[in-house]
Amino acid sequence: MSNKNLPIFIIVIVLIAVVIAAIALFRNPGTTTPPPKNTNTNSNFADTYAKLPPGAQPSQSKGDPAAKVTIEEFGDFSCPTCGLFHQNLKDIEKSYGSKVRIIFRHFPLNNVRGHENSYNAARAAEAAGRQGRFWEMQNLLFTNQKTWTVMSEGEAKKTFSDYAKSIGIDVANFEQEMLGQLVSARIADDMNRGKAVPVNGTPTVIINGNRMLANNEIANLPDLRAVIEAEFQKAGAPAQSNSNQNAQ
Amino acid sequence: MSTPEINNASKIALIPLLAALVALVGLGDSVYLTVQHYKNELPPCEIVHGCELVLTSAWSEILGVPTSLFGAIAYFIAFALALLAAFGNRSLWTLFGVQAVLMSLFTLWLLYLQGYVIGAFCQFCLLSAITTFTLLILFIVSKLFRAK
């Protein structure tokens, strides 16, 4: 009877199907791209955006204030996707330099389990900012997020002080600032702006005040590049390629 | 149909068949997680849950291999054993039982990590826990059924 061979036949079919499905899933760029749920149509969003509370002033930003492309991120230092986006932004910075302006806003999800150190991390970044080292600390926090995210509150704070030391900050002053009103007020201001967007998860990334980026545009570097290029095109200033022509 | 042994086997074959289907669900789940792992695509951190913390934790990989890939292989083996058992191979059903016990122990460890070490649960991992325990329960039920 073929009864003996049938299961083996089915097993082989399933194995082949799994491999094909896995390859298809891997190649499909749109797997995590449900149409962005909060992406209102441009005009609607631009209206909302214009009316948002200002957030911390001055904002933590880098790049040319008159840049044609501005990326505003609401982030949480414990959030792995924010960590991934941070690495992508580093690449963007490498390619475009100050032509892309980057604004970082705090949106620590402290109530989410596993994000218990988020708020203190935000305070650490702002405290470093008081000594002009916000971006250095921001980079350290994101790069090492796996290390301090799982620590106890005390251990994490100690680690933040070590980071401060490593970027040449006055540690005593840093520790004092971390607990200060100035720092917590700035975070609260950013969060108020975020809540009005409204931010439902991190990172929430707004490009040129027009729309929020979709998940794939945050996580996939090529997609992010495409968005930025498109914004430069819209502004009539093709970015990378033109910089060479201008130089000629 | 000639020997009573085969008769007996075809009677219980329903449970191994069911186990094979459950293993397929687990297989799909872990293959999905494995692909997402290699794609380096993460869901955003939502205000309500922290799946991404689990999927990027130190335990998402074992010796550089994604934990979900081990899961996929384990489910595939479980599926193959259950299917062969469903078609009458009794000894493989016992082997399936061993596999189900091992997978359940591994799952308990993963649940412990999520609950007590990482401090967050991932719905995809919980689905896998459910399918693994279902495999074990099906095996136990089949043994009880046979004991009667």
- What's the pLDDT at B114? 84
Give SS3 for B13: coil
Q: Give the pLDDT confidence of A71-126 residue by residue, as tens digits.
A: 999 999 998 889 999 999 999 999 999 999 999 999 998 877 678 899 999 999 99
How far apart are the C-alpha atoms of A92 and A204, rounded to whole Å? 17
Give SS3 for A37: coil
Nearest to A114 among B24, B31, B120 (CB): B120
Q: If you average pLDDT over each of A212-216, B1-5, B98-102, which comes out highest? A: B98-102
Q: A46: burial class by Cβ within 10 Å (0-12, 13-18, 19+)?
A: middle
Beta-carbon count within 10 A of A33 CB? 16
Q: CB of B36 within 8 Å of any CB in chain A?
A: yes
The answer, yes or no, to whether ipTM is higher than 0.85 is no
Q: CB of B13 within 8 Å of any CB in chain A?
A: no
Residue of chain B nearest A219, judged by CA positions: B41
Predicted TM-score (pTM) of the model is 0.65
Quick one: what percent of chain B has pLDDT higher than 90? 45
Tokens describing residue B115: 């609950």
How far apart are the C-alpha atoms of A150 and A80, rounded to whole Å? 12
Q: Do A146 and B56 touch (CB under 8 A)?
A: yes
- Which long-range contacts does B16-20 make (Cβ < 8 Å, 24+ apart)? B16/B82, B16/B83, B16/B85, B16/B86, B16/B93, B16/B96, B16/B142, B17/B82, B17/B83, B17/B86, B18/B138, B19/B78, B19/B82, B19/B85, B19/B86, B19/B96, B19/B135, B19/B138, B19/B139, B20/B79, B20/B82, B20/B83, B20/B86
Amino acid identity, position A22: A
Q: Give the pLDDT confidence of A227-245 residue by residue, as tens digits.
A: 999 999 988 866 554 443 3
A-chain residues near B41 (CB < 8 A)? 31-32, 215-216, 219-220
Give ∠ CA A72-A57-A126 in degrees, rounded to 5: 80
- What's the pLDDT at A196? 92
Q: CB of B31 within 8 Å of any CB in chain A?
A: yes
Residue of chain A nearest B119, judged by CA positions: A114
- Torsion, Cα B136 B140 B143 B145, to 10 degrees, reads -120
Confidence label for B62 from pLDDT (cuts 50, 70 and 90): confident
Residues facing residue B62 across a β-bridge:
B65
Q: Give the pLDDT confidence of A37-86 residue by residue, as tens digits.
A: 444 455 688 888 999 999 999 999 999 999 999 999 999 999 888 999 99
A-chain residues near B35 (CB < 8 A)? 22, 25-26
Nearest to B83 among A11, A31, A76 (CB): A11
Shortest distance, CA B58 to any CA of chain A (angstroms)? 8
Work out the average pLDDT over B102-128. 87
Contact B76, A15 (CB under 8 A): yes
Q: Do A219 and B41 touch (CB under 8 A)?
A: yes
Residue of chain A nearest B79, judged by CA positions: A11
Shortest distance, CA B84 to any CA of chain A (angstroms)? 6
Nearest to B58 among A11, A83, A146 (CB): A146
Among A112-121, B8-17, B130-139, the range scoring the smallest mean pLDDT is B8-17
Amino acid identity, position A143: T
* Of A23, A18, A6, nearest in space to B76 by CA: A18
- DSSP string over A88-122: HHHHHHHHHGGGEEEEEEE---TTSTT-TTHHHHH
- Torsion, Cα A89 A95 A100 A104, to 10 degrees, reads 20
- What's the pLDDT at A212? 92
Quick one: what percent of chain A has pLDDT higher than 90? 65
Shortest distance, CA B143 to any CA of chain A (angstroms)? 22
Nearest to B35 among A26, A109, A112 (CB): A26
- What's the pLDDT at B1? 42
Confidence label for B43 from pLDDT (cuts 50, 70 and 90): low
Residues 6 or more apart in contact with residue A141 via CB below 8 angstroms: A77, A121, A124, A125, A148, A160, A163
- What's the pLDDT at B7? 47
- What's the pLDDT at B54? 75
Q: Give the pLDDT confidence of B76-106 residue by residue, as tens digits.
A: 999 999 999 998 888 899 999 999 999 999 9
- B27, B31, B42, B45, best to mutate vs chain A, most A CBs in 10 Å: B45
- What's the pLDDT at B60? 81
Q: CB of A10 within 8 Å of any CB in chain B?
A: yes
- Whether A154 shows a pLDDT value over 80: the answer reads yes
